[in-house]
Amino acid sequence: MKYYIIAGEASGDLYGANLIKALRDEDPQAEFRFWGGDAMMKEGGQPVKHIRNLAIMGFIEVVLHLRTVLGNISFCKKDILSWHPDVVIGIDYPGFNLKIEKWAHEHGIKAIHYISPQLWAWKKGRLKGMRSYLDRLCYILPFEQQFYAENNLPQATFVGHPLIEIIQNRPQDEPFAFDNRPIIALLPGSRRQELLKSLPCMVNLARRHPEYHFVVGGMSLLGKDMYEQHIPTDTGISVVFDQTYRLLSQAYAAVVCSGTATLETGLFHVPQVVCYRGNPISIAIAKALVGRRINHIALVDLIDDSNVVTELLQQDFNDQRLEEEFLLITSDTANRERMIEGYRRVEQKLGSAGASLRTAKAIIETAK
């Protein structure tokens, strides 16, 4: 069969690469055409657009880039029609992918969405449309099972979280050739706007603590110049590119921009402070839409429904509060142990490995 896969962000690229492997195992004649990144490109197939040109987050940011977004949607539709796939698979990236999936369904192409939109937090009204045009929704978070059972989406299937297998199957990590100071991982985000808002506080923290070696987990898709411009050389901060798991496997603690990286850090049992600062107008709109439905944004907190990690958001993400929480995750043994115990609860709730294979089987069953 022919599979057209659309991933718009770094996490989707990672999940997409593992999905391609699993689909090929189940369907040796599989053909792939995709929007994705370097991880998916390594698995073969025909790349269409790279995620470095796609990741836009926030209401205001989308409006500012509306012409680009609409142009990409139009291009994607034409590309799908010319290739004639059996199935279109959108990985996360719901603002874009749900539109394409609805259009694909209307044109007689099977439409599958992998990684559920956060309907339990906001835009629950999307459910009505998704019932009508999605042939299958594969979701990965355990607490979403109750949500979909209560809201009658029969084509929704729980497959488990792909990070379990991705981390378990990673190659053995070689130690970095740094000095003997404990390593603090700095993960400032996978989008340009996240990095620009996260790095200043992280850099200031590093200046205050020369007893640690601060290492940024950089992403080459953002360009090495981006990091060089915003990390002064006199801070002693190192940058390693596209080696987040190697970094986390050796880190004593971490400061992490909210996103998939918070769960990755938790699965490596690294005590962390989660931070996020976005466009104030976008954040205000998001708060108005979410209301009181959720109390957390970090994935480890959402999955455990507790305060496993501290979340410093917007004005709380400042030098003073970051300093306070950093001391707790580096010097307070009881707090470190409490956090790691929370990570273990999260692992138990996520379940076993094999999410990509379960997803591949669900896709093939639906497409046939």
Q: From CA 244, how far away is CA 234, in angstroms rounded?
A: 23
Q: Which CATH number fits domain 2-167+353-367: 3.40.50.10860, 3.40.50.2000, 3.40.640.10, 3.40.50.720?
A: 3.40.50.2000
Q: From CA 54, how far away is CA 29, in angstroms rounded?
A: 29
CB count within 10 Å of CB 89 equals 30
Q: Is the confidence at residue 83, as pLDDT, over 80?
A: yes
User: DSSP string spanning 105-149?
Assistant: HHTT-EEEEES---TTTS-TTHHHHHHHH-SEEEE--TTHHHHHH
Displacement of CA 226 from its chain's centroid (Å)? 20
Q: Express each pLDDT in 30-65 by its tens digit.
A: 999 999 999 999 998 899 999 887 754 444 444 445
Mean pLDDT is lowest, of 86-95, 149-158, 341-350, for: 149-158
- pLDDT cut 90: percent of the chain above it: 71
β-bridge mates for residue 216, sequence order:
186, 239
Cα 164 to Cα 142, 167, 212, 246, 352, distances in angstroms: 13, 6, 29, 16, 7
Tokens read off for 45: 């197939």
pLDDT value at residue 318: 95
Q: Express each pLDDT in 289-340 by its tens digit.
A: 444 456 778 999 999 999 999 999 888 999 999 999 999 999 999 999 999 9
Q: Which top CATH class is 183-350?
A: alpha beta
Q: What is the dihedral of CA 88, 93, 97, 98, to 10 degrees?
A: 120
The 3-state DSSP class for residue 339 equals helix
Q: Where are the domains of the chain?
A: 2-167+353-367, 183-350
